[in-house]
């Protein structure tokens, strides 16, 4: 069983690569962003509380996201977990280490997906997904074959995230550099960090990630 973190700025391709690992290796994706968006859609109290913070591009509190992850780790997955968008602060990283230790699990690799900032704006502002199966598309680089219809499942429920706009992205990038990028040094010092070029072709990125996984 291999548990990994995908680390990188918004738009680095963490979600896309996580979905491949789910399909190809039977791993379980734990995306705190997806969990928070689900809480919004289902209209829970917590979902309502975080909506404005998320739309602005700020981080929600450590307590909320650590609570979401704690629930999931109680049921270890045979295929291993992919932490996608978590941890995002040093406090979350410490909490993840403690939670894994408490449940007899380990963290096997942290993969930093490196992408330069100029590419992120273009990637994020064209992004849309299928509301049914979660497939990720892009207006320019990966449009659907038939406009308005998902290539994979045929659904017409295509949607854009409320925070995938230039204004929110500025805040999300600032949050990343202020609060999340210190995790690169944190995991490097622990001897757990590997780096892949997130700007390479999708298959090449997947290959580089597979190499890290097969070594760990």
User: Where do contacts with ligand AMP occur on this chain (CB under 6 A)?
Assistant: 10, 32-33, 36, 53-54, 57-60, 65, 85-86, 88, 92, 163, 172
Instruction: Take residue 174 and report the two structure tokens written for it.
Output: 């600032």
90-102 vs 62-73: helix axis angle to the nearest 10?
Answer: 20
With beta carbons less than 8 A apart as the criterion, state whether 90 and 182 touch. yes
> Exposure pattern of 141-177 as b/e (b: 16+ CB <10 Å)?
eeebeeeeebeeeeeeebeebebbeeebbeebbebbe
Query: 62 or 151, CB closer to ligand AMP?
Result: 62
Distance CA 185, CA 140 (A): 34
Distance CA 81, CA 73 (A): 9
Helix (H/G/I), strand (E/B), else coil: 28: strand
Query: 10 or 80, CB closer to ligand AMP?
Result: 10
DSSP state of 142: B
Query: 121 or 149, CB closer to ligand AMP?
Result: 121
Query: 57 or 80, CB closer to ligand AMP?
Result: 57
- The minimum distance between CB 131 and ligand AMP, in angstroms, equals 15
Query: Alpha-carbon torsion 121, 21, 78, 153, what sign?
Result: positive
- The minimum distance between CB 79 and ligand AMP, in angstroms, equals 21
Instruction: Take residue 124 and report the two structure tokens written for it.
Output: 């994020």
Query: 10 or 13, CB closer to ligand AMP?
Result: 10
Supply the residues annotated as catalytic.
Answer: 14, 88, 127, 161, 172
- The minimum distance between CB 209 and ligand AMP, in angstroms, equals 18
- The minimum distance between CB 36 and ligand AMP, in angstroms, equals 5
Element of type H or E holding 68: helix 62-73
Residue showing the smallest CB distance to ligand AMP in the complex: 33
- The minimum distance between CB 186 and ligand AMP, in angstroms, equals 14
């Amino acid at each position: 069983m291999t548990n990994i973190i995908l680390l990188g700025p918004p738009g680095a391709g963490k979600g896309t690569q996580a979905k491949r690992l789910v399909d190809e290796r039977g791993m379980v994706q734990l995306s705190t962003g997806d969990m928070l968006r689900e809480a919004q859609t289902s209209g829970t109290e917590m979902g309502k509380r975080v909506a404005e913070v998320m739309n602005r591009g700020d981080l929600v509190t450590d307590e909320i996201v650590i609570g979401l992850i704690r629930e999931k780790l109680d049921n270890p997955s045979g295929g291993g977990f992919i932490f996608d968008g978590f941890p995002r602060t040093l406090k979350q990283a410490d909490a993840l280490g403690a939670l894994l230790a408490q449940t007899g699990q380990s963290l096997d690799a942290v993969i930093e997906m490196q992408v330069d900032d100029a590419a992120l704006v273009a990637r994020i502002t064209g992004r849309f997904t299928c509301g049914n199966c979660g497939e990720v598309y892009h207006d320019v680089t990966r449009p659907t074959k038939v406009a308005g219809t998902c290539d994979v499942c045929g659904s017409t429920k295509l949607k854009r995230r409320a925070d995938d706009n230039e204004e929110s992205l500025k805040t999300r990038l600032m949050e990343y550099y202020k609060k999340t990028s210190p995790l690169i040094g944190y995991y490097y010092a622990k001897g757990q960090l590997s780096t892949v070029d997130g700007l390479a072709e999708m298959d090449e990125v997947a290959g580089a990630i597979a190499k890290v996984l097969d070594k760990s």
